[in-house]
A and B are shown apart, each in its own frame.
Chain A
Amino acid sequence: MKFLKGFFIHFILIFVCILCLLPFLWLTSTAMKGAGENIFAYPPVLFPEDPTFNNFKEVLRLVPILKYALNSFIVAFFTVILNLILSSLAAYPLARMEFRGKKIAFFGVLATIMVPFQAIMLPIYIITLKLHLTDGHGAVMGYLGLILPFAVNAFGIFLLRQAFLSIPRELEESAIVDGCNAFQIFYKVLLPLITPSLAVLAIFTFIGSWGEFLWPSIILTNDSLMTLPVGINNLSGAFSANYRLVAAGSIVSIIPIIIFFLSMQRYFISGKTEGAVKG
């Protein structure tokens, strides 16, 4: 009975895992089929007859995927840094200080959770244009336009506020006695204690920023700052007749994030991510 139960569980889980991999395996298979092989063959052929990396070479030659990857990395990296700094700074007084207007600040942050980005993106677009934060005004302005609207979010602030709340108050009191000012308490005493939450925030911000499509597709006007999701989507439009190249480009584009995912796996699957739930 127990053996049967174990068999049943593994059977279902293996089946689900195969389903989860199937779209990517099928892309990889298509990407590795040579020009002589019919990718529309019916019945479909899963294993290429004569596996080749030519499509990868070709797509890297025709489309600046590595530049897209670099752009994605720059945007994701600075989005993470800004989120860590701004969220932790804002979370500290909301968790630990008494001041006039605290309720307004608290509910102001909470309000931003309730409004989806898509519902207010038109004025965000107009404001970003007015501030010249577009790729037409140079690379730095272009990157800022991609980064600043996502430089802080309420989920991050609440995640870190929870972390600050869990730190015993005595630590700060003794720091005050030792003559630390507010910033020193924040930087030297509290911040080191919430590194696990900072790591969770960093990782989820990175994944979110790396995969973001809607905003860059609206704000970018030329190829030079294009991020991976936009670049790959354009690729699939431009080479719709050559699916081998689209598949190869797609596979190349997911390699960095899969490496990131596998190297940070313990954060994803440890259950520490509870606080990072997004709506």
Chain B
Amino acid sequence: MYKFQNKLIPYLFLIPAGVILIVFFFIPFFQTIILSFQDYSKDIYSPAFIGLSNYAEILKSPIFLKSIANTFYFLILCVPFLVIFPLFLAILINQKIKGKTVYKLLIYLPVVVSIVVVAIAFKWLYAPNGLLNYILELLKIKNIGWLVNPKVAMISVSLVTIFKGIGYYMMIYLASLMSVPKDLYEAAEVDGAGEFLKHMTVTIPHIMPTIALVSTISSISALKVFVEIYVMTHGGPLNSTKTIVYYIYERAFENLDLGVASAACVILLLIVLVFSLLNIFVFERGKYDI
């Protein structure tokens, strides 16, 4: 580390980013907390300070509690699949095979396409007499009310998220697989390990940090899910796909109840924080060392 004569230099470099982060991050962050203690339902221009009432209200609200439960249900539906399946694909692509590039490109394609278009496409596939129900019929399986049956709707939404995410996590795994030393595989082969055992004993332990990373980042994105739901179900049917962010959106922009919405924001923040802290201080430590 060296010091320049002019002590102001480091700050000059930091100021532009600092201004943006202060205006669009730190001020809003503290304002969210302040808003969550205020009552906007009576007078939007001079909100009264009401302490923890907004929290009491949402934590008693069956719809908010259902949104939290739905969000975790969604997380449980997507995350295991997004952790395991992309790893499986990455191991397959990492073999000595032809056409790797084409496979990678096609599997990555859904990642770059806007989630709005993906959701519109799936809404079409999920139509009562759409392509998916036809395929089920061919397989002699009863039709499914993909987006109209409250018991199924969240599963249908999670399939869209999984579809959109597989390529992304597969690339993270592929980068990590490049770091597994080749001689470890050779040693395992000498010991007579088959394909499956080889990956269980060499690959998986070696890339465990990446598996942990994918688990936390896919969990964080699952907790923030919104667009799929906004485009496909609007939280329905019967609130079965209403998640925390959807609840916030509704309370803030449809009911204009900023206080209650902000209390929900703070709860979302606390839930996400648990996963972020794990990520930053356990799994990706090296990257964030000062």
Closest to A243 in B: B124
A98-125 vs B, Cβ < 8 Å mask (1 yes, 0 no)? 1110110110111011111011111110
| Cβ-defined contact, B17 with A86, below 8 A | yes
**A109–B252 alpha-carbon span in the complex (Å):** 27
**A253–B249 alpha-carbon span in the complex (Å):** 26
Contact of A228 among B35, B92, B114 (CB under 8 A): B114
Contact of A273 among B9, B11, B99, B171 (CB under 8 A): B171
Contact of A116 among B17, B120, B195, B272 (CB under 8 A): B272
| Cβ-defined contact, A119 with B101, below 8 A | no
Residues of A within 8 A of B97 (CB): 6, 9-10, 13
| Cβ-defined contact, A269 with B105, below 8 A | yes
Looking at B54-62, B144-152, B219-227, the stretch in contact with chain A turns out to be B219-227
A200-211 vs B, Cβ < 8 Å mask (1 yes, 0 no)? 000000010011
**A250–B6 alpha-carbon span in the complex (Å):** 54
| Cβ-defined contact, A268 with B220, below 8 A | no
Closest to A90 in B: B17
Residues of A within 8 A of B89 (CB): 13, 16
| Cβ-defined contact, A116 with B268, below 8 A | yes
| Cβ-defined contact, B287 with A20, below 8 A | no
B261 near A: Cβ within 8 Å? yes
Residues of A within 8 A of B115 (CB): 211, 213, 229
A158-193 vs B, Cβ < 8 Å mask (1 yes, 0 no)? 100010000000001100100001100010000000
Determine how close the nearest CB of chain A comes to the CB of B95; give it in whole angstroms.
6
B6-41 vs A, Cβ < 8 Å mask (1 yes, 0 no)? 110111011011101101111111011001000000
| Cβ-defined contact, A158 with B113, below 8 A | no
Give the contacts of A1-16 with B (CB-CB under 8 A): 5-6, 9-10, 12-13, 16
| Cβ-defined contact, B172 with A86, below 8 A | no
Determine how close the nearest CB of chain B comes to the CB of A127; give it in whole angstroms.
6
Looking at B76-84, B200-208, B274-282, the stretch in contact with chain A turns out to be B274-282
| Cβ-defined contact, A268 with B108, below 8 A | yes
Residues of A within 8 A of B101 (CB): 265, 269
Residues of A within 8 A of B235 (CB): none
| Cβ-defined contact, B114 with A254, below 8 A | yes
Give the contacts of B73-127 with A (CB-CB under 8 A): 89, 92-93, 95, 97, 99, 101-118, 120-125, 127
Residues of B within 8 A of A119 (CB): 32, 265-266, 268-269, 272
A36 near B: Cβ within 8 Å? no
| Cβ-defined contact, A258 with B109, below 8 A | yes
| Cβ-defined contact, B105 with A122, below 8 A | no
Determine how close the nearest CB of chain B comes to the CB of A276; give it in whole angstroms.
10
Contacts A27-B121, A254-B113: A113 and B276 contacting too (C-beta < 8 A)? Answer: yes
| Cβ-defined contact, B31 with A126, below 8 A | yes
Residues in chain A within 8 A of chain B (CB atoms): 5-6, 9-10, 12-13, 16-17, 19-24, 26-27, 30, 40, 42-44, 85-87, 89-90, 92-94, 96-100, 102-103, 105-106, 108-110, 112-116, 118-124, 126-127, 148-149, 151-152, 157-158, 162, 172-173, 176, 181-182, 186, 207, 210-211, 213-214, 217-218, 228-230, 232-233, 236, 243, 246-247, 250, 253-254, 257-258, 260-262, 265, 268-269, 271-275, 277-279
28 example contacts (A-B, Cβ-Cβ < 8 A) are as follows A12-B92, A16-B166, A20-B110, A26-B124, A27-B121, A87-B17, A89-B16, A109-B17, A110-B288, A114-B272, A115-B272, A116-B223, A116-B268, A119-B272, A121-B265, A127-B24, A152-B17, A176-B2, A211-B112, A211-B114, A211-B116, A213-B114, A257-B113, A268-B105, A273-B171, A273-B172, A275-B287, A277-B172
Other than the given A233-B231, A253-B114, 6 more pairs (CB < 8 A) read: A13-B99, A27-B117, A122-B261, A148-B24, A273-B171, A273-B175
Residues in chain B within 8 A of chain A (CB atoms): 1-4, 6-7, 9-11, 13-14, 16-18, 20-21, 23-29, 31-32, 35, 89, 92-93, 95, 97, 99, 101-118, 120-125, 127, 129-131, 134, 163, 166-167, 171-172, 174-176, 178, 195, 213, 216-217, 220-221, 223-224, 226-227, 230-231, 245, 248, 252-253, 258, 261-262, 265-266, 268-269, 272-273, 275-277, 279-280, 287-288, 290
Nearest 3 CB-CB pairings of A with B: A123-B31, A123-B28, A23-B121
